[in-house]
Amino acid sequence: MSHNLQFYIDGQWVQPSGSKTLDVIDPSTEEAIGAIALGNEADVDKAVAAARAAFPAFAATSKQERLALMRRLLEVYKTRYADIAETLSREMGAPIELAHKAQAAMGTGHLAKMIETLENFEFEELRGTTLIAKEPIGVVGMITPWNWPMNQIMCKVAPALAAGCTMVLKPSEIAPLNAIIFAEIVHEAGIPKGVFNLVNGDGPTVGEAISRHPGVDMVSFTGSTRAGILVAKAAADTVKRVHQELGGKSANIILDDADLNRAVKLGVESVMRNSGQSCNAPTRMFVPAALHDKAVAIAKAVAEPLKVGAPASNDTFLGPVVSETQYNKIQKLIEAGIKEGADLVTGGSGRPEGLNRGYYVRPTIFGNVTDDMTIAREEIFGPVLSILPYQSDDEVVQRANDTPYGLASYVQSGSLERARKVAAQMRSGNVYINYPAWDAGAPFGGYKQSGNGREYADFGLEEFLEIKGTVGYAAA
């Protein structure tokens, strides 16, 4: 039985309070592949009540009890792995290989890392005669995006479970079907009723109701900076904790001693992967002015063979972007780049040749971009790379940091010492030197308008905990 038109509340699938539904669109065909129910404030009230009722007992569970639940969750997740990957590919357009090897894999990666983290985590510490205790914050409202859906669900659910919190999840209404599968996994894994609750809906209705609900102790949000501001404002009246991972406009600094071919190639591929829909994509590539034209030629040669096409094809590198709204936004920004005088190296507006339906975007590269251009300032969230020439290390550091965002930075150099010096000056939550392997144990989150708080491993777990000091706990 499909649960697409139901919500998961208090350990069971229930009917929505209202009758509104929303089609889920396959962005490669622009056709509906299903529909979900849209929740309202009454549905949120029911979910929060269930989470509040479940909290005292779940908060009192032992670390070993929670570890057993999380290990069972991981086992069941693996049995539904293919379902998750295929669903993600259809509802958000991820190429099937990316969906299997990265999108769905983030679920197992983060959950396994959080299990390892909890095994070694201490919730109490005696400092002199004072007991320092770390306790679950309470009921957590979770609002997750469509670009890496399972990654962001697990980045919130796993630490909340580890901490002993209960939760209400609102996934993106654009790519919600994977979250319904996840709720089925939660149910099969035997997570106690009321600990995890799922209500589908849109941001202005369900998202806002969660954010301002007095029964929610914390809201964890991932999405655009614009939406994050609205969440924070809605949460302000109840002074709840607001944990946010927001937008980015990440700089990729290629120093003059880097392997230029490798640095440009991997930089281009990093932007184009997931059709540019990653908040930490290195979309501003800074290259020494003397090497600008050579870098542009390399970038063009790398981008043009990348196949744009149906997500189901194994050789597709870029699938469609997620929606018509995203497609139109990206087209306007590409047109702004052309109008403002950047050199269009490859790509441009419109669909790629041979594709007349689906939200497909040409892999686009601009050269000779200046800092004041719209494409260098705004988060495009599409397969668009800006290449900016610079003269000196000091100059490029200042320009790379001249952005309201601060999620990630990238530094490429033949000298690790030189790369470290530049990395130390970057105002961002992450710096990646010479394209390292992904690290589930590194803190993830941003400076400035890229958010507050951190995810992954113990850094993520700490966000779901309150700190209590019991003075005089031990005899003097």
Same domain, 200 and 87: yes
Place of tokens 């607001």: 242
**For residue 444, is it within any domain?**
no
Catalytic residue among 86, 91, 245, 455: 245
pLDDT digits (tens, 9 = 90+) for 381-430: 999 999 999 999 999 999 999 999 999 999 999 999 999 999 999 999 99
CATH number for the domain that contains residue 228: 3.40.605.10
How many CB atoms within 10 Å of residue 231?
A: 24
Sign of the CA dihedral with 29 first, then 30, 35, and 37 last: positive
Same domain, 400 and 259: yes
Q: Which residues of 364-382 are buried (b: 16+ CB within 10 A; e: fewer)?
A: bbbbbbeeebebbeebbbb
pLDDT, average across residues 4-14: 98
pLDDT digits (tens, 9 = 90+) for 430-465: 999 999 999 999 999 999 999 999 999 999 999 999
Same domain, 55 and 126: yes
Q: Which pLDDT score is estimated for 198?
A: 99
Same domain, 235 and 289: no
Question: Sorting pLDDT into bands at 50, 70 and 90, what band is 476?
Answer: confident
**For residue 445, is it within any domain?**
no
CATH number for the domain that contains residue 368: 3.40.309.10
Same domain, 220 and 183: yes
Same domain, 234 and 256: no
Structural domains counted in the chain = 2
**For residue 27, is it within any domain?**
yes
Q: Which pLDDT score is estimated for 1?
A: 66
pLDDT, average across residues 267-287: 98
Q: How far is CA 49 from CA 3, 263, 327, 328, in A?
A: 21, 52, 39, 40
Distance separating the N- and C-terminal Cα atoms of the chain: 62
> Is residue 279 flagged as an active site residue?
yes
Same domain, 276 and 318: yes
Rounded CA separation 178/184 (Å)? 10
Residue 385: closest CA among 464, 300, 310: 300
**Res. 215: pLDDT tops 90:** yes
Same domain, 270 and 406: yes
Rounded CA separation 302/298 (Å)? 6
Claim: this prediction has a pTM higher than 0.75: yes
**For residue 407, is it within any domain?**
yes
> Is residue 208 flagged as an active site residue?
no
Catalytic residue among 86, 165, 173, 279: 279
Same domain, 256 and 241: no
pLDDT digits (tens, 9 = 90+) for 155-173: 999 999 999 999 999 999 9
**For residue 313, is it within any domain?**
yes
Please answer whether residues 253 and 432 qualify as being in contact, where contact means their C-beta atoms are separated by less than 8 angstroms. Answer: no
The 3-state DSSP composition of the chain as helix, strand, coil percent (nearest 5) reads: 40, 20, 35
Question: Sorting pLDDT into bands at 50, 70 and 90, what band is 247?
Answer: very high
Same domain, 64 and 129: yes
Provide the 3-class DSSP secondary structure of residue 139.
strand
**For residue 178, is it within any domain?**
yes
Same domain, 106 and 121: yes
**For residue 412, is it within any domain?**
yes
Q: Which pLDDT score is estimated for 191?
A: 98
**Res. 176: pLDDT tops 70:** yes
The whole-chain average pLDDT of the chain stands at: 98
**For residue 1, is it within any domain?**
no
Same domain, 362 and 240: no
pLDDT digits (tens, 9 = 90+) for 101-158: 999 999 999 999 999 999 999 999 999 999 999 999 999 999 999 999 999 999 999 9
Question: Within its chain, how far is the Cα of 40 from the centroid?
Answer: 25
Q: Domain range for residue 397?
A: 251-439
Q: Is 306 exposed, middle or buried (0-12, 13-18, 19+ CB in 10 A)?
A: middle
